[in-house]
Amino acid sequence: MFAVRYPALLLATAALAAALIIANFGWFARRDLADSQRFSEIAVGALAEPSSTEAIASITVERFSDGRPVLIAVSPLLESALVGILERPRLEPMLVSVAAQLHAALFDGQAEGIVVDLTGVEDLIMGPLERFAPEFAATIESSFFAEIVIVEPGSLPELSPYASIARRILWGAILLAVILSVLIVLLARRAATATMMIGGAVAFAGLVTSFVLPGGRRVVIEAVSDDRVEVIVTNIFHDLAAGLRAQSRLLLMIGLAVVIVGLVLRIASSPSRLATSD
């Protein structure tokens, strides 16, 4: 009987770990990816990081100066001015708009580009230019300040199928994990063994999820050809993945704690078993 139960116990434990890994990703997708508002909150923080604002400024000035040699000559000055502008609270709506467009492109299946609207920030850009280069500022027409595409349509990876699958199987994975836990208890027969097996599965799920994250980053940036866009996407991925990293660490700590409880139960039950055998 033991020869049958032991392989079944190991199989149930492995299946529990797999179910917990899926549930962990599913919960992350439901909480941080599917919710556009939460995604935007996290993404705006990532877009406000210095490396992101520098990348946005570089792309915007490049598009802004396209076909205008007089602007190309002073593009470093324009980039510096725009970086300073992007750090101001007044520009937060622009970052929110970029974050919303990014969510739509990545997770809503909308193959549209990402647009920065400069129509409302002419005074912010022209102010520094008029102070430092008044003659040059006089050559810039108001028509220059328009909507500028900083990420071309189709240049970002389509992640909506993965996020949709993760959300759909979330509750199924949780239910399966509960059923497998009960099965492990029945197969193990001893509380200590069952506790250690369940704790080991939980800890393994947290550990595996942590190791998978770098691979997820590579998948996200694989389709990105512009290094500056890669910087922006990487920063957003890093901030988004912070929630998944925290979940994974929590699973790992809970799992290890449960394993320790199982070891204590086994040690505590050893004298009683020896007394019974005597």
Query: What's the confidence (pLDDT) of residue 1?
Result: 44
DSSP the chain: -HHHHHHHHHHHHHHHHHHHHHHHHHHHIIIIIS-HHHHHHHHHHHHTSHHHHHHHHHHHHHHHHTT-HHHHTTHHHHHHHHHHHHTSGGGHHHHHHHHHHHHHHHHS-----EEEE-TT-HHHHHHHHHHH-HHHHTT--GGG-SEEEEE-TT-S---HHHHHHHHHTHHHHHHHHHHHHHHHHHHH-SHHHHHHHHHHHHHHHHHHHHHHHHHHHHHHHTT---HHHHHHHHHHHHHHHHHHHHHHHHHHHHHHHHHHHHHHHHHHHHHHHHHHH-
Higher-confidence residue: 241 or 117? 241
Query: What's the confidence (pLDDT) of residue 202?
Result: 95
pLDDT tens column, 255-265: 999 999 999 98
Alpha-carbon separation of residue 202 from 26, 36, 109, 197, 268 (angstroms): 15, 29, 33, 9, 23
Q: Check: CB of residue 48 under 8 Å from CB of residue 89.
A: no
- Look at 26-40, 102-116, 222-236 and tell me which has the smallest mean pLDDT: 102-116
Query: What's the confidence (pLDDT) of residue 166?
Result: 73
With cut-offs at 50, 70 and 90, classify the pLDDT of residue 274: very low
**Phi and psi for 153 in degrees, rounded to 5?**
-55, 135
Structure tokens at 248: 């994974």
Higher-confidence residue: 155 or 161? 161
Return the sign of the alpha-carbon dihedral for residues 147, 152, 156, 159.
positive
Strongest mean pLDDT among 34-38, 190-194, 195-199, 225-229 = 195-199
Query: What's the confidence (pLDDT) of residue 32?
Result: 80
The one-letter code for the residue type at 130 is: E
- Look at 71-75, 162-166, 199-203, 272-276 and tell me which has the smallest mean pLDDT: 272-276
Query: What's the confidence (pLDDT) of residue 19?
Result: 94
77 has a pLDDT exceeding 90: no
Query: What's the confidence (pLDDT) of residue 278?
Result: 44
- Across 246-272, b (16+ Cβ under 10 Å) vs e yields ebbeebbeebbebbeebeebbeeeeee
The one-letter code for the residue type at 145 is: F
Q: What percent of the chain has pLDDT over 70?
A: 65
Q: Which of 184, 192, 187 is nearest to 272 (CA)?
A: 192
**Stretch 115-141: mean pLDDT:** 68
CA atoms within 13 A on the CB side of 160: 13
Has this prediction a pTM greater than 0.75? no
Higher-confidence residue: 45 or 143? 45
**Stretch 123-134: mean pLDDT:** 67
State the Cα–Cα distance between residues 274 and 177, nearest whole angstrom. 34
Q: Check: CB of residue 89 under 8 Å from CB of residue 100.
A: no
- Look at 95-99, 140-144, 234-238 and tell me which has the smallest mean pLDDT: 140-144
Query: What's the confidence (pLDDT) of residue 271?
Result: 60
Query: What's the confidence (pLDDT) of residue 181?
Result: 94
- Across 10-22, b (16+ Cβ under 10 Å) vs e yields eebbebbbbbbbb
With cut-offs at 50, 70 and 90, classify the pLDDT of residue 251: very high
Query: What's the confidence (pLDDT) of residue 201?
Result: 95
**Stretch 32-58: mean pLDDT:** 81
Query: What's the confidence (pLDDT) of residue 260?
Result: 95
- In which residue are the tokens 């497998």 written? 180
**Stretch 126-136: mean pLDDT:** 66
Q: Which of 52, 49, 24, 48 is nearest to 241 (CA)?
A: 24
- Look at 1-15, 93-107, 155-169 and tell me which has the smallest mean pLDDT: 155-169
Structure tokens at 48: 């406000």
